[in-house]
Amino acid sequence: MQYGYFDDAAREYVIDHVNVPVSLTNYLGTQRMGAVISHNAGGYCWLDSPQHHRITRFRPNGVPMDWPGHYVYLRDDEDGRYWSLSWQPVGLPPEQARYEARHGLSYSVFSCEYAGTVASETLFIPRESGADDPVEIFDVRVRNTSDRERRLSVYGYVEFSFHEIDMDNQNFQMSLYAAGSHYRGGVCLNELHYEPGAFQFFAGNFDPDGHDGVRDGFIGPYRTERNPLAVEQGTLSGSTELGGNVCGALQKKLVLQPGEEKRILFYLGTGREDAADRARRRYDEAGTDRAFAALREFWEEKLSALQVHTPHENMNRSLNIWNFYQSEINVLFSRFSSFIEVGGRTGLGYRDTAQDAMCIPHGEPDGCLMRVRQLLHGLMREGYGLHLFDPAVLEARDCAVKTPTVIPEADRKSMLHGITDACADDALWLIPAIAENVRESGDLSFFDEVISYADEGEGTVWEHMKAILDFSYRQVGVHGVTKGLRADWNDCLNLGGGESAMVAFLLVWASNHFIDAAGALGRSEDAAHYTKLRNEMIEICRRTLWDGEWFLRGFTAAGDPIGSSAAEEGKVHLESNTWAVISGAATEAQARACMDSVDSWLYTRWGLMLNAPSFRTIDDSIGFVTRVYPGVKENGAIFSHPNPWAWVAECMIGRGGRAMKFYDALLPENQNDQMEIRQAEPYSYCQFIMGRDHTAFGRARHPFMTGSSGWSYYAATRYMLGIRPGFDALTVDPCIPAEWDGFTAVRKWRGAVYRITVANPGHVEKGVLSIEADGQPVSRIPVFSSGTHEIKITMGVSK
Ligand code: GLC
């Protein structure tokens, strides 16, 4: 069943059947202020940190599922009927009222046709320039579609949160008495009394006809946001109190002639009434229109860094809009604000952030480089990364407020951890992330930038990279394969001194990136040294990890193989086999055989499972994965993040049809009519989909905040379409289904625009016969520093 459709011209997903069984979420904000908002306008917002500076409250994992939110109610003041502009919270039956939600890029629009009115609420956060106070705007329009004059009331409503989210959720002794409401100058204020000068505001561009600052005053006893007493009665109670649950509720009465439309604006932000006044002045109707247009231009410009036109409509839709958008959200907000991660664990996950920052430097050069620098700073001198750390703490920025209650605060010392808590893969991801960022910018001097280590001392970026490689080449087990430590990419594979095939292959891949960079820099000694170490590791892997038809996943600390043909459970694993190929460590025959095993053991119509069969017997020498239910998350689910690794691997061995088969299985846009099974956003990759060994096979969970987004984009654009910037040339080496006649793409790179046309007259899957740049035959695509250039690639097999 289908609940919505794609409006590509508007770059929106339109939910026209709003009674979706799950919340479909979107993100607002592109800088300091952010919000996660469902198709019911449920959700919350924050400034800088969803943990330390929350603005609105959310009831996580609650019933109903996505309350409260940033709501607007409408009431017919003649007959007392009331409704919300988003379907929830009032939730009129769909046969009475026509609801629609549109999720766009950093904005959402909720609209409702009911009782002779059409009304809409657009939520967005304007992009600030330097000195502006960030603010969320509720842009509301109400039209009278009846043939008589109407008297209506509009109510905006938010529930404020205490700044510290842990305190807001756990310590009501504090949060109920340390924050209070004021009403000044037509503005609802939430005062965070313990923090000097800390306020949040909710205001409108009008003189309110009523207000409430106390949640219970607005909602009333034994009621919910579905039937607030104040809206039902049509009069807000005018409540304020020093203490209690603070809300912002404002009423505006409207008289509308037949056919007339009126527009009113609400503002939600931090600061007092002067901040609200600035918002009113800056974002009057014209200012709001300008800010909204600027937001659309911002995305237009970002997306223009790469636009593709292939014969695959959903691939175009994904790469040109939604997959990039999701990847950008991850770089902007890291991974800690959603309806699953509700803001209490902020900071940067080392490996997740490195991978996010590796995948979209073309569209988000500054953000990716900022993340890379933060991770370089989060590296221990010994060469391993801090698994989860808050850059603000490392940079000694004050992030939490002192209160009389003792709250353990993350301090620099306790954030540093030893090798036992290190994950073997974390810092290895940073090497390709650095390389990809420099390939994008061409700025080789970045390798010589000096950055402090997390513990002590400083070094150049190049020295950091060597420290990472040296650490991993030192950390090997009895077979000579890299140790798994606390975990490798798979959080639930906890091998300690046991060995991880995936990390060994990842080390080979990271070395490849390093050696490539050493070549560009002319650092031949470093290139030779690490080439030798890499080749030795490849030999060890080929010798010890090959099982006959696929690669082992590793060895336990006792030396027992994991993922062999002799095993009953966890026989075949996605991570080790894909990485054996991506790294180039597998021989050609091994590569083909192991990817065939991936296809026959792990493929499902929803994507590739992480391992099969799922583990059922607890075995702590393998790890926590054996305690996870079969078919769930890391134990035999279709874990999305490693799926694109298989697309890359198939492209490396030239099987474009197979890569597309895997791509198509996971692509959310392909599942738009499967909502009753998939139960997730058709425009967002999810962390995992229940695997074949689970009763809910096909059900996807944890949208947006997942490395599958960046990796899907990276694999599809760089390997399937084959558009890869290098240090000194652009490569276009596609691996596509044989039936494709070709495709076109426009790629911006280092100040120039490359208009790429790929022709596939011989209907091959891979192989480039000839390249033309601006009409001239060339052996490789040069780096242009400006202008628009026509690149023609003809695929085929040379005879
Ligand atoms: C989650 C974690 C990620 C990890 C993956 C597999 O997505 O955020 O770091 O690699 O699970 O365990």
Side-by-side strand order, sheet with 43-47: 25-28, 33-38, 43-47
Decide which of 425 and 390 is more confident.
Answer: 425
> Identity (one letter) of the amino acid at 565?
S
The pLDDT of residue 401 is 54
| pLDDT at 409 > cutoff 70 | no
| pLDDT at 404 > cutoff 70 | no
Confidence at 397, pLDDT banded by 50, 70, 90: low
> Active site includes 166?
no
**Which residue's alpha carbon is nearest to atom 6 within ligand 1?**
490
- In contact, 582 and 645? CB cutoff 8 Å: yes
Ligand 1 atom nearest residue 706's Cα = 7
| pLDDT at 735 > cutoff 70 | yes
Ligand 1 atom nearest residue 489's Cα = 10
Q: Is 95 left (phi over 0), alpha (psi -120 to 50) or beta?
A: alpha
The pLDDT of residue 331 is 96
- What's the token pair of residue 80? 């007392």
- Ligand 1 centre to CA of 115 (Å) is 48
- Ligand 1 centre to CA of 490 (Å) is 6
- Ligand 1 centre to CA of 623 (Å) is 15
| DSSP element (H, E) containing 686 | strand 686-689
Ligand 1 atom nearest residue 335's Cα = 8
Q: What's the N-to-C CA distance of the chain in angstroms?
A: 49
Sign of CA dihedral 514, 517, 519, 523: negative
- Ligand 1 centre to CA of 489 (Å) is 7
Residue among 335, 345, 386, 489 to mutate when testing ligand 1 (max atoms within 8 A of CB):
489
- Ligand 1 centre to CA of 633 (Å) is 9
Ligand 1 atom nearest residue 707's Cα = 7
Confidence at 403, pLDDT banded by 50, 70, 90: low
524-551 per-position pLDDT tens digit: 999 999 999 999 999 999 999 999 999 9
- Ligand 1 centre to CA of 703 (Å) is 13
The pLDDT of residue 86 is 98
Side-by-side strand order, sheet with 638-639: 638-639, 686-689, 700-703
Residue 613 preceded by cis peptide, ω within 30: yes
Confidence at 564, pLDDT banded by 50, 70, 90: very high
Ligand 1 atom nearest residue 349's Cα = 9
Considering only CA atoms, which of 711, 715, 710 is closest in space to residue 735? 715
Please pick, among 209, 277, 470, 491, the residue that the annotation labels catalytic.
Answer: 491
Written in H, E and C, the secondary structure of 690-734 is CCCCCCCCCCEEEECCCHHHHHHHHHHHHHHCCEEECCCCEEECC
Mean pLDDT, the chain, whole residue set: 96
| pLDDT at 130 > cutoff 80 | no
- What's the token pair of residue 679? 């139960």
What's the gap between Cα 151 and its chain centre?
A: 43
Q: What are phi and psi of 417, to 5 degrees?
A: -130, 165
Considering only CA atoms, which of 123, 34, 101, 71 is closest in space to residue 704? 34
Ligand 1 atom nearest residue 352's Cα = 9
β-pairing verdict for 554-555 and 561-562: antiparallel
Q: Identify the residues whose C-beta falls under 6 Å from ligand 1.
A: 349, 351-352, 489-492, 634, 687, 706
- Ligand 1 centre to CA of 597 (Å) is 24
Decide which of 169 and 141 is more confident.
Answer: 141
| pLDDT at 398 > cutoff 80 | no
| pLDDT at 266 > cutoff 80 | yes
Cα angle, residue 390 at apex, residues 389 and 393 outer, rounded to 5°: 120
774: number of Cβ within 10 Å: 14
183-197 per-position pLDDT tens digit: 999 999 999 998 888
Residue 50 preceded by cis peptide, ω within 30: no
- pTM beyond 0.75: yes
Ligand 1 atom nearest residue 487's Cα = 12
Confidence at 569, pLDDT banded by 50, 70, 90: very high
Ligand 1 atom nearest residue 702's Cα = 7
Task: Give the Cα separation of 89 and 155 in Å (integer).
Answer: 13
- In contact, 461 and 451? CB cutoff 8 Å: yes
| pLDDT at 400 > cutoff 80 | no
- What mean pLDDT do residues 284-298 have? 98
Lowest mean pLDDT across 98-112, 325-339, 445-459, 730-744: 325-339
Please, what's the b/e burial string for 172-208 (b: 16 or more CB within 10 A of its CB; e: otherwise)? Answer: eebbeebbbbbbeebbbbbbbebeeebbbbbbbbbeb
**Which residue's alpha carbon is nearest to atom 3 within ligand 1?**
352
- Ligand 1 centre to CA of 153 (Å) is 47
**Which residue's alpha carbon is nearest to atom 7 within ligand 1?**
706
- Ligand 1 centre to CA of 569 (Å) is 21
Calculate the CA dihedral of residues 599, 616, 697, 550 and round it to 10 degrees.
-10
Helix (H, G, I), strand (E, B) or coil at 370: helix
Task: Give the Cα separation of 92 and 97 in Å (integer).
Answer: 6
Residue 379 is given by DSSP the state B
Confidence at 798, pLDDT banded by 50, 70, 90: confident
Written in H, E and C, the secondary structure of 731-763 is EECCECCCCCCEEEEEEEECCEEEEEEEECCCC
Residue among 333, 341, 348, 352 to mutate when testing ligand 1 (max atoms within 8 A of CB):
352
Ligand 1 atom nearest residue 492's Cα = 12
The pLDDT of residue 132 is 74
12-40 per-position pLDDT tens digit: 999 999 999 999 999 999 999 999 999 99
- What's the token pair of residue 499? 């060995």
Residue among 641, 702, 705 to mutate when testing ligand 1 (max atoms within 8 A of CB):
641
- In contact, 670 and 314? CB cutoff 8 Å: yes
The pLDDT of residue 392 is 84
- Ligand 1 centre to CA of 491 (Å) is 6
634-662 per-position pLDDT tens digit: 999 999 999 999 999 999 999 999 999 99
The pLDDT of residue 410 is 60
666-687 per-position pLDDT tens digit: 999 999 999 999 999 999 999 9
- Ligand 1 centre to CA of 504 (Å) is 18
210-251 per-position pLDDT tens digit: 999 999 999 999 999 999 999 999 999 999 999 999 999 999
200-219 per-position pLDDT tens digit: 999 999 999 999 999 999 99
739: number of Cβ within 10 Å: 12
Ligand 1 atom nearest residue 639's Cα = 6
**HSE, side-chain direction, 13 A CA sphere, residue 576:** 33
Distances (CA, A) of 249 to 43, 68, 214, 219, 437: 17, 13, 9, 10, 46
**Which residue's alpha carbon is nearest to atom 8 within ligand 1?**
352
The pLDDT of residue 515 is 98
- In contact, 727 and 445? CB cutoff 8 Å: no
461-477 per-position pLDDT tens digit: 999 999 999 999 999 99
The pLDDT of residue 526 is 98
- Ligand 1 centre to CA of 550 (Å) is 23
Residues 6+ apart with CB under 8 A from 564: 547, 552, 571
- Taking CB atoms within 8 Å and a gap of at least 24, the contacts of 615-622 are 615/569, 615/570, 616/569, 617/569, 620/494, 621/498, 621/556, 621/557, 621/558, 621/560, 622/493, 622/494, 622/495, 622/556, 622/562, 622/570
- Ligand 1 centre to CA of 471 (Å) is 22
221: number of Cβ within 10 Å: 6
- In contact, 201 and 269? CB cutoff 8 Å: yes
Return the percentage of the chain with pLDDT > 90, whole number: 92
